[in-house]
Amino acid sequence: MTERIPGFSTLAIHAGAQPDPTTGARATPIYQTTSFVFESVDHAASLFGLQTFGNIYTRIGNPTNAVLEERIAALEGGTAGLVVATGHAAQVIVFHCLMQPGDELVASKKLYGGSINQFNHAFKNFNWNVVWADPEDISSFERAISPKTKAIFTESIANPGGVITDMEAVAQIARRAGVPYIVDNTLATPYLCKPIDHGADIVVHSLTKFLGGHGNSMGGAIVDAGTFNWSREKRYPMLSEPRPEYHGVVMHETFGNFGFAMACRMLALRDIGAALSPFNAFLILTGIETLPLRMQKHCDNALAVAQWIAQHPKIAWVSYPGLPGDRYHSLAKKYCPNGAGAVFTFGLKGGYEAGVKLVSNVQLFSHLANIGDTRSLIIHPASTTHRQLTDAQKIQAGAGPDVVRLSIGIEDKDDIIADLEQALAD
Amino acid sequence: MDHNSYSDSYIRGILNTVKTIAMVGASEKENRPSYFAFKYLLERGYKMIPVNPGQAGHTMLGQRIYARLADIAEPVDMVDIFRASKYALPIVQEALTLKPRPQVIWMQLGVRSNEAAALAEANGLKVVMNRCPKIEYGRLSSEIAWLGVNTRTLSSKRAPIGGVQRMSLNRTSAPGGVTAAADRVQREERDR
Ligand SMILES: Cc1ncc(COP(=O)(O)O)c(C=O)c1O
């Protein structure tokens, strides 16, 4: 019974995408429709009752989006996926399925700033309370656990780069606490790192970044690893209790190891409504076909740029785990052996003014607030995304006045370096 | 045989040959997983026979519910066990008294009994444990992919269809990789 298991690049192209059953179209068609006709009243009843598989309404599911869902689930080694409008929407949907008012989540304090905002502000309005832990001191995760804790959340490579989470250590703490471990794998992508192999129970993505990869589409994804025993823990009523929304169906009992993905779709996305446009799904799918090629080039370029910057006289420090001697270098080698990603920060000796000048002087780099584009991107957080914070808050957030963040693209590395060289020259 | 993983061709072969399935533990309650699986397989053209002593004499989805396998008057190709693992052995023993004998014993997701499997195999029956025929049908036909499920199959051939939103099982596909993590956890749970 030796059936061949395809490699990552083959899955990146083929997983989920079969020629269209009616037309034979080879590229995945864009099913730009809100709704799907029922075969009969009974077919409609079976679909609404979750008794059969199929399409009803694009807020709940769409065949183009479904190809993307299976593609990402296959690449991450999960049992099922769900795609939604944005990375932030993915996080709301995941926590909607886990948290009741008054519950807590333990999160790494080294996260994308937008996620820190979401947990501190939007989640607080739902009375979901975040307790911050420090990935530099793994025991702080253990100390942050309380009887109200429902999940642990970290990034694999943390935005704005530089920090690699010791996922296996965090996963052990989650297992002991009997809570699922959620990893945001946006910066690494499954090409560099598969968190499920290191103990994650749920993976989330902003598809807006490297998976889409071309800076043209917002998107988010959730992958169910199929590893968490919701019925045993009995603390997650969305998974282990009869659901009034569906005449008493119990999600985990009915759908087994893809029960969490089903709860995210049928209990959260259905009611919260942050559906992904099928057109965006198509663009992101096209992006994923070249993920292995792009991601390797992103990483190779980033390493070359980081090495060049590290020896530049106007630079005080560089934080890139791909550099030997970086404090996260050994974790990078363990978790991301093919490269440490393409996003990193460095400090300018000239401080705030030098940062403003650099972003004004660049000609190839684009000055904007995204990461994970084919194009090289630059931002000076102190004068933009973190402008409203006090200096002390800026430093705490890793956005001190001297800090510049780069997202290295897949142009020729000599051109990327030449642009930085001329921009730093005056 | 190894009951930790089954090849797609083994599962496809079973689902393509059996025609009559007796589901032991089928429930007429519309929110039970057994009802979901029963209804789905019935709609896919299998002759489905519910077996449930507590509901014997009722009908579910137009099919008469029997108290015991032995009460079924017609030949059964496959017995699908929708009961806790400890009941699997007596159900196999009962199945072996049927004439003709069924060809397949299928134990649902979460149901495993090495003794029941060994007894069935010693008598020449095929065995599947800890799987759901509805999920496997949905996976191998690719229908389940509409729910974002990783079917673990790949194909460059147009999928055959059998009606509105119905895909046929006769799809050629190559395996698309395993979900090693989910399989590992299942093994760990079993060994606890
Ligand atoms: C690591 C990480 N997670 C989540 C998000 C949020 O994703 P989106 O902007 O698609 O909502 C981002 C966006 O920058 C991110 O970098």
Q: Where does a domain end: A261, A287, A313?
A: A287
Percent of chain B with pLDDT over 90: 81
Among A46, A58, A70, the strongest candidate for a mutation testing the B interface, having the largest count of B CBs within 10 A, is: A70
Q: Is the Cβ–Cβ distance between A342 and A324 less than 8 Å?
A: no
Q: Please tell me whether residues A275 and A140 are part of one structural domain.
A: yes
In a domain, A402, yes or no: yes
- Tell if the CB–CB gap between A66 and B156 is shorter than 8 Å: no
Nearest CA to ligand 1 atom 8: A87
CA distance A153 to A107: 5
Q: What are phi and psi of A206, to 5 degrees?
A: -95, 110
A267 and A382 inside one domain = no
The arithmetic mean of pLDDT across residues A239-249, rounded, is 95
CB contact under 8 A, A21 and B155: no
Residue A2 lies in a domain: no
Q: Which domain holds residue B63?
A: 1-192
A37–B155 CB contact, under 8 Å: no
Alpha carbons A354 and A347: distance in angstroms, whole number: 10
Tens digit of each residue's pLDDT (9 = 90 or more) over A182-220: 999 999 999 999 999 999 999 999 999 999 999 999 999
Q: What is the mean pLDDT of residues A216-242?
A: 97
Please give the pLDDT value at position A20: 94
Out of A91, A93, A209, give the residue to mutate to test ligand 1, the one with the largest number of ligand atoms within 8 Å of its CB: A209
Residues of A in contact with B151 (CB under 8 A): 16, 70
Cross-strand partners of A317: A347
Query: Which of A1, A246, A261 lies nearest to residue B148, judging by beta carbons?
Result: A261
Same domain, A142 and A271: yes
CA dihedral A255, A260, A263, A269 (to 10 degrees): -140
User: Which residues of B fall within a CB distance of 8 Å from A36?
Assistant: 165
Residues A267, A302: one domain?
no
How far apart are the C-alpha atoms of A64 and A57, rounded to whole Å?
Answer: 13
A1 located within any domain: no
Q: What's the structural domain count of chain A?
A: 2
Final residue of a domain: which of A246, A268, A287?
A287
What pLDDT is attached to residue A426? Answer: 79
Q: Averaged over B137-166, what is the pLDDT?
A: 93
Query: Taking the CA of residue A72 as centre, how many other CA atoms within 13 Å lie in the half-sphere pointing to its CB?
Result: 37
Q: Which residue of B has its CA nearest to A4?
A: B175
**Least confident range of A155-169, B82-96, B158-172:** B158-172
pLDDT in tens, A134-190: 999 999 999 999 999 999 999 999 988 789 999 999 999 999 999 999 999 999 999
Whether the pLDDT of residue A2 is over 60: the answer is: no
Residue A1's pLDDT is 43
Name the token pair of A123.
């989640």
The amino acid that residue A379 corresponds to is I
CATH of the domain at A178: 3.40.640.10
Q: Evaluate the omega torsion of the peptide bond into residue A63 and state whether it is cis, within 30 degrees of 0.
A: no
Q: Which of A417, A297, A308, A307 is nearest to A365 (CA)?
A: A417
Tell me how far apart the alpha carbons of residues A149 and A170 are, in angstroms, rounded to a whole number: 14
Of B144, B176, B185, the CB nearest to A53: B144
Residue A220 Cβ contacting ligand 1 at under 6 Å: yes
> Which strand (E) or helix (H) includes residue B45?
none
Question: Over the stretch A245-272, which tens digit does the pLDDT of each residue have?
Answer: 999 999 999 999 999 999 999 999 999 9
Residues of B in contact with A24 (CB under 8 A): 158
From the CB of A184, is ligand 1 less than 6 Å away? yes
Shared domain check, A146 and A272? yes
A195, A296: one domain: no
Q: What is the pLDDT of residue A199?
A: 98
Q: Is the CB of A114 under 6 A from ligand 1?
A: yes
Specify whether A232 is located in the same domain as A379. no
Q: How many contacts (CB atoms, under 8 Å) link A and B? A: 173
Tell me the per-residue pLDDT of A270-301, one tens digit each, with 9 for 90 and over: 999 999 999 999 999 999 999 999 999 999 99
Distance A248 CA to ligand 1 centre (A): 35
Verify whether the Cβ–Cβ distance A246 to B31 is below 8 Å: yes
A79 Cβ inside 6 Å of ligand 1: no
With cut-offs at 50, 70 and 90, classify the pLDDT of residue A417: very high
Which DSSP string corresponds to A82-141? EEES-HHHHHHHHHHHH--TT-EEEEESSS-HHHHHIIIIIHHHTT-EEEEE-TTSTHHH
Shared domain check, A215 and A101: yes
Q: What tokens does B161 get? A: 């269809």
Give the C-alpha distances (Å, rounded to integers) separating A220 from A174, A248, B159. 24, 29, 28
- Give me the count of residues in chain B: 192
Q: What is the pLDDT of residue A387?
A: 85
> Is A154 inside a domain boundary?
yes
Q: Are A150 and A277 within one domain?
A: yes
Locate A263 and state its tokens: 């709860």
Report the amino acid identity of residue A395: I
Cβ of A256 within 8 Å of Cβ of B175? The answer is: no
Closest CA in chain A for residue B135:
A255
Please determine, for residue A230, whether its predicted confidence score (pLDDT) is greater than 50.
Answer: yes
End-to-end CA distance of chain B: 22
Domain end call among A224, A256, A287? A287
- Express each pLDDT in A301-335 by its tens digit: 999 999 999 999 999 999 999 999 999 999 999 99
Q: What does the alpha-carbon distance between residue B187 and residue B135 come to, in Å, rounded to a whole number?
A: 19
- A353 CA to centre of ligand 1 in angstroms: 28
CA distance A217 to A284: 7
| Count of structural domains within chain B | 1
Residues of B in contact with A196 (CB under 8 A): 181
- Please state the pTM of the whole predicted model: 0.96
Mean pLDDT of B101-122: 96
* Residue A341, Ramachandran bin (φ over 0: left; ψ between -120 and 50: alpha; else beta): left
- What confidence score (pLDDT) does residue A150 get? 98
Residues A297 and A349 in one domain: yes
Contact B156 A14 (CB under 8 A): yes
Give residue A347's pLDDT: 97
CATH number of the domain enclosing A299: 3.90.1150.10
Residue type, A355: G
Task: Look at residues B146, B35, B148, B152 and name the one whose alpha carbon lies nearest to residue A264.
Answer: B148
Note whether A49 contacts B8, CB cutoff 8 Å. no
Q: What is the mean pLDDT of residues B70-86?
A: 97
pLDDT at position B175, please? 87
In this predicted structure, what is the pLDDT of residue A239? 98
Residues A201 and A116 in one domain: yes
Q: For A340-381, how does the pLDDT look when each residue is reduced to its tens digit (9 = 90+)?
A: 999 999 999 999 999 999 999 999 999 999 999 999 999 999
State the CATH number of the domain containing residue B89: 3.40.50.720
At residue A207, the pLDDT reads: 98
What average pLDDT does the structure give for chain B? 94
Query: Is residue A281 domain-shared with residue A195, that is, in the same domain?
Result: yes
Question: In angstroms, rounded to a whole number, what is the distance separating the alpha carbons of residues A396 and A405?
Answer: 16
What is the best residue among A72, A86, A88, A185 to mutate for testing ligand 1's pocket, by most ligand atoms within 8 Å of CB? A88
Q: Which residues span the domain enclosing A16?
A: 8-287
Task: Please check the confidence at residue B183 and state whether its pLDDT lies above 90.
Answer: no
Angstrom distance (rounded) from CA B150 to CA A67:
10
pLDDT for residue A383 = 92
Given a cut of 90, is residue B5 above it in pLDDT?
no
Distance A135 CA to ligand 1 centre (A): 19
Which residues of chain B have a CB within 8 Å of the CB of A53?
138, 143-144, 146-147, 165
Pairing of strands A377-379, B47-51: unpaired
Strand order across the beta sheet in which A343-348 lies = A315-319, A343-348, A403-407, A377-379, A366-367
**Domain presence at residue A206:** yes
Cα-flanking dihedrals φ and ψ of residue B49, to 5°? -125, 115
Confidence of residue B128 (pLDDT cuts 50, 70, 90): very high
Confidence of residue A397 (pLDDT cuts 50, 70, 90): confident
What is the mean pLDDT of the segment spanning A70-88? 98
In the predicted structure, residue A402 carries a pLDDT above the cut 90:
yes
> Is A9's pLDDT higher than 60?
yes
d(CA B130, CA A419): 59
Inspect the interface and report whether the beta carbons of A43 and B164 lie closer than 8 Å: yes
